Structures are given as structure tokens and as C-alpha cells.
Amino acid sequence: MAITLVPVLMGWLVRGRIHPESHNPLNRLLMAGYRPFVRLVLHHPWPVVLLAGLLTLTAWWPLQGWVLNSCLI
């Protein structure tokens, strides 16, 4: 739905000249804050994957007891 709806809505709602992202001060601020994290993740992918796996396991471990207890009741 988004593939068909977004271009139609842009044609209807966005009028005039579309300015580049680099001219918007808020966008420049957000990109300046976001770029270091993207650069870090791209240069060190395995630690990020391991951290994501560790976070998944730490979320799964407490839920394991909850799921078992709710199935036994």
C-alpha cells in the first residue's frame, strides 16, 4: 500500500520546489548526530551483532519463566 499511496499523496500534497536536505537546519542537526553512530556500526559490525544477540537473550531469559508458568496454569 505504501508503494502506491505515498507517490500519489506526494503528487497531491507537495507543491513547489523541493529543497535539498542539506538546506534544512533541523535535518543537518539530526544527520550530524546520527552519522557517528552509523559510521561506528559500519566499521564494527560484529560487536554490534553480538550486542544485539546479547540484548535479545537478556529479554528472552525473564520471559522464559513467565511463558512456562502461564502454560502450566
| pLDDT tens digits, one per residue of 26-42 | 999 999 999 999 999 99
Q: Using the 8-state DSSP alphabet, how is residue 14 labeled?
A: -
Between 18 and 8, name the one with better pLDDT: 8
71 pLDDT band, cuts 50/70/90, is low
* Percentage of the residues of the chain whose pLDDT score is greater than 70: 86
Between 16 and 67, name the one with better pLDDT: 16
pTM: 0.52
Give the Å distances, CA to CA, from 31 to 17, 22, 38, 51, 58. 22, 9, 10, 24, 31
